[in-house]
Chain A
């Protein structure tokens, strides 16, 4: 069945169209909304076409890692919820969800989005932990980008909580925001046949040959890459994919800034 789907998608792409009528370099309409979960310290919902993702931030106080005694801890988690797509089953996260979490994590970490030094309470003993969970409510593709955008919006939305006896007092939010230094926007470019597209749907992801996720900082610096898919890429492909990602990252950054200004 995937072979027929692939032929169909590929034939359409040769004519420059996609199954949902979009152009190759066109994102679906993105809606970003923050503060959507009252119990979370920060949260955001991103809708893009039929894909809907919620990112939630929970804080905690714990021990730092041995090799970074003065840095707060950040952990990104993701699960492919069975409610979001008929093909997902319950159980511990599988490789698809692990990859989503790790690539989003890589962008935020390597882009130095969080000032982790600012989250140290007592060197080597107590630091703030920022626990980011990115979950699809409806999965119709492009979870890395949309989850990554949701995570950034949620980080910006988050407020620190009060502390008593070195324990966080949940529900008592302060006015203090998290120390966010930058916004590394992830953009995934997908290669199907000879065509490069962005913001793939679930169907397009099923038939892709290769994809490259590029996390981009404000000034166009790249801070994370992840190639996936069964096919290899030439240096020319990589060059074009990064150019497209750079272009699209500006568009998304604008949308994100607009949503956060509200």
Chain B
């Protein structure tokens, strides 16, 4: 490992330590399934509606259901006001969120139907797509949608060759060192990767190392997601 100029994190956080996580299931009673997932100062709510009939009808598929995800940041959820309505960024994140969840959802069980997932970020401090995926995965399970496993997600960063789990906004915006931000999602039981993006500079070996470092963190997040779901159905 090359020595790094980035040798200390804020609040004495360990390099492989995520910010504090809070997860709750069933937080939106109107929804068929719902969850809240908070990591540090990033908070995502997700609600699942469906399976319900897909309209317009020509979009229906008699062989399988359709998963539709919508990621949205509330206007007050960032430093600058976020203009309401879809942006190019939110559309892309909605798409990668869908792809991150698809491998675990048994959509063949819901022919002609749609499962809608609405993800709203109330406050953000980096890692919002990952928090959204964690919340969405819990909300799908809460809605009783048949799934092969949970999907857990976290971003892993490389700051001047130092691998760092769960970048916060301040770390993401470091300018005097090279910062790579790698949002990841994984199916914990198979360790298959369902979300992989990156911006920033990193060598191939460092990238593979970062994937390894993220694995135990993602498994721990999966446990927290499961625990929150069990909590809801306890007595």
Contacts and interface: CB of A to CB of B under 8 A. Distances in A.
Contacts of B80: 66
Interface size class of B (residues with CB under 8 A): 20 to 34
Given A98-B91, A225-B182, A232 B192 contact: yes
A61 to B, nearest CB: 22
Interface size class of A (residues with CB under 8 A): 35 or more
Given A227-B195, A227-B197, A234-B191, A222 B103 contact: no
A109 B191 contact: no
Contacts of A242: 204, 207
B200 interface: yes
Contacts of B207: 222, 225, 242
A125 interface: no
B95 A212 contact: no
B92 A95 contact: yes
Q: A interface, by DSSP: helix, strand, loop or mixed? A: mixed
B92 A235 contact: no
Contacts of B92: 95, 98-99, 102
B199 A109 contact: yes
A239 interface: yes
A235 B88 CA distance: 29
Max count, chain B CB within 10 A of own CB: residue among A110, A220, A227, A231:
A227
Q: B interface, by DSSP: helix, strand, loop or mixed? A: mixed
A237 B89 CA distance: 27
A246 B204 contact: yes
B173 to A, nearest CB: 8
Contacts of B82: none
B204 A225 contact: no
A12 interface: no
Given A66-B80, A110-B199, A225-B197, A230 B204 contact: no
A49 to B, nearest CB: 26
B59 interface: no
A227 B183 CA distance: 11
B99 interface: yes
Nearest to B93: A102
A102 B96 CA distance: 13
A98 B203 CA distance: 27
Nearest to B212: A235
Given A227-B197, A235-B211, A222 B99 contact: no
A81 interface: no
B102 interface: yes
Contacts of A217: 201
B196 interface: yes
A223 B211 contact: no
Interface in A141-184: none
Interface in B179-196: 182, 187, 190-196
Nearest to A97: B88
B208 interface: yes
A217 B207 CA distance: 15
Given A222-B201, A242-B204, A227 B211 contact: no
Nearest to A227: B196
Given A95-B91, A99-B92, A233-B193, 9 more contacts: A99-B95, A221-B202, A227-B195, A227-B197, A230-B99, A232-B192, A232-B193, A235-B208, A238-B196
22 contacts: A95-B91, A98-B88, A98-B91, A98-B92, A102-B88, A106-B199, A110-B198, A110-B200, A217-B201, A221-B203, A223-B200, A226-B196, A228-B99, A230-B99, A231-B103, A232-B190, A232-B194, A234-B193, A235-B211, A238-B196, A239-B204, A239-B208
